[in-house]
Amino acid sequence: MAELHRPERGLLREVQQLDRYAKQISFGPIGLQGQARLAEARVLIVGVGALGSHSATSLVRAGVGHIDLVDRDIVELGNLQRQVLFDEEDAKQGRPKADAAAERLASFNSSCQVRAMVEDLDRWSIREIQTLPDLIIDGTDNFATRYLINDFAQSKGIPWIYAGGVGASGRAMAILPGESACLRCLLPQAAPAGELASCETDGILEPLIAQLSAFQVTECLKILSGNRDKVARGILTVDVWENEYELKLRGLSPSADCPACARQEYPALKDEPIRSMSLCGRDGVQIKPPAGASIDLGRLAARIASIVENLEEGPHLLRFTAEQCRFHVFPGGRALVMGTSEEARARSLYDRYVGIS
Ligand SMILES: [Zn+2]
């Protein structure tokens, strides 16, 4: 992880911080003690798209001292309607979201230490998280990653806040290992591909994201400030278009049939990473190299320079165009192939131009 900012120290800083957080400290249940706890806390945000952008913004402004961001994607124009951390220049440059988000967040609160990891979270990359967080925020758009967060969090005893939505409706829940139901208790298996509504088919409204993020941030502040007894013990379901706001309070104890809660088995920590996956709501596919494979971006650039177009080589990203598709290749060999949503075509183009699968 690249470290972008270290907090300053000293009395002057403490006085400034009291002023900065005065309205939050005046709120009795948080107070000075809660604010001090927030300053010491570490939150991992998985995915800084719509939900992750909103929640990261609020947590940094609230004074959470350490924020780690993980995101696999790059900024595009179609993100700007709801992904509040990014601007047109980020989209024009196609910047990795984690890097662009970390830079923007550091400008909101220079006392917050923000670290960025441009990576797809899987059973291997999750091990690169060096310092365990106090809490995890779900900013993902897929159930494979949510089950991974769930099993990682359950195995380490870390609370996390699930949220997801499409169109105008969504739901969110605080998951406290050992105390409440986990994601596997509620949804033992993800629905087969194609059966779930997606933001690709149903769109997504920014105000829904703001609602779900408000829940995530509030529950996060309760837990981190020492007010765990106030955590919402239920699933929030919201439809901002149909005016439905409900906190369902049933089925919230850990299930006796749940592999994670009842038997301490964590299937997602054993799953092989998915090699190719079309990107939600986008004309693109992510391809990962086989486990153990690696690639040197400089050598790849030299090898393909004469057969591709618009080759751009940066320290952490190689881009080029081939057969009407735009490739973004990250260190290690993970690639986003934009311009097709067909996984088979993307895999075949990847084999042809990147060539390590
Ligand atoms: Zn469970």
Q: Which of 238, 269, 300 is the last residue of a domain?
A: 269
**What domain count does the chain have?**
2
Residue 315: the pLDDT is: 73
Q: Tell me the pTM.
A: 0.88
Ligand 1 centroid from CA 247, angstroms: 19
Residue 114: the pLDDT is: 97
Whether 300 and 333 have beta carbons less than 8 Å apart is answered as no
- Alpha helices (H) along 113-252: 143-156, 183-186, 199-202, 206-224
In b/e form, how buried is each residue of 240-265, taking b as 16+ CB within 10 angstroms? beeeeeeeeeeebebbeebbbbeeee
Ligand 1 centroid from CA 267, angstroms: 12
At 299, which CATH number?
Answer: 3.30.310
Per DSSP, what are the bridge partners of residue 165?
170
Residue 289: the pLDDT is: 84
In angstroms, the CA 77 to CA 90 distance is: 9
Ligand 1 centroid from CA 186, angstroms: 7
Ligand 1 centroid from CA 27, angstroms: 34
Q: Which of 269, 295, 316 is the last residue of a domain?
A: 269
Residue that the structure tokens 């901002």 belong to: 240
In this structure, are 209 and 291 located in the same domain? Answer: no
Q: Which positions ≥6 away from 313 have C-beta within 8 Å? A: 297, 298, 301
Q: What dihedral do alpha carbons 106, 111, 116, 121 form, nearest 10°? A: -120
In this structure, are 123 and 257 located in the same domain? Answer: yes
Residue 293: the pLDDT is: 76
Ligand 1 centroid from CA 181, angstroms: 5
Q: What does each C-alpha distance from 15 to 2, 20, 107, 247 come to in angstroms?
A: 29, 9, 19, 39
Among 266, 181, 169, CA closest to 209: 169
Taken as a whole, the chain contains a residue count of 357
Among 265, 261, 287, CA closest to 276: 287
Ligand 1 centroid from CA 139, angstroms: 20
The torsion region of residue 346 among left (phi > 0), alpha (psi -120 to 50) and beta comes to alpha
- The one-character DSSP state at 281 is T
In this structure, are 236 and 343 located in the same domain? Answer: no
Residue 44: the pLDDT is: 98
Range of the domain at 48: 2-269
Strand 335-338 relative to strand 325-329: parallel, antiparallel, unpaired? Answer: antiparallel
Joined tokens for residue 229:
């007894």
Q: Which positions ≥6 away from 23 have C-beta within 8 Å? A: none
In this structure, are 81 and 220 located in the same domain? Answer: yes
In this structure, are 337 and 211 located in the same domain? Answer: no
Joined tokens for residue 99:
């890097």
Ligand 1 centroid from CA 278, angstroms: 28
Q: Which positions ≥6 away from 336 have C-beta within 8 Å? A: 72, 73, 74, 279, 284, 285, 286, 287, 327, 328
CB atoms inside a 10 Å sphere around CB 99? 22
Q: Which of 269, 296, 317 is the last residue of a domain?
A: 269
- The one-character DSSP state at 159 is -
In this structure, are 8 and 110 located in the same domain? Answer: yes
In this structure, are 285 and 198 located in the same domain? Answer: no
pLDDT in tens, the chain (357 residues): 444 444 445 555 666 678 999 999 999 999 999 999 999 999 999 999 999 999 999 999 999 999 999 999 999 999 999 999 999 999 999 999 999 999 999 999 999 999 999 999 988 888 888 799 999 999 998 888 999 999 999 999 999 999 999 999 999 999 999 999 999 998 887 766 555 666 667 899 999 999 999 999 999 999 999 999 999 989 999 999 999 999 887 658 899 999 999 999 999 999 777 788 888 767 899 998 877 777 888 889 998 999 999 999 987 899 999 999 999 999 888 999 999 998 889 988 998 899 864
In this structure, are 161 and 79 located in the same domain? Answer: yes
In this structure, are 233 and 347 located in the same domain? Answer: no
Strand 276-278 relative to strand 284-287: parallel, antiparallel, unpaired? Answer: antiparallel
In angstroms, the CA 355 to CA 92 distance is: 28
135 phi and psi, to 5 degrees? -165, 150
In this structure, are 23 and 157 located in the same domain? Answer: yes
Ligand 1 centroid from CA 224, angstroms: 22
Strand (E) positions, 263-346? 276-278, 284-287, 309-313, 318-322, 325-329, 335-338
- Our measurement of the distance from residue 313's CA atom to the centroid of its chain's CA atoms, rounded to an integer in Å, reads 26
112 part of the active site: no
Residue of 112, 182, 199, 261 marked active site: 199
In this structure, are 121 and 180 located in the same domain? Answer: yes
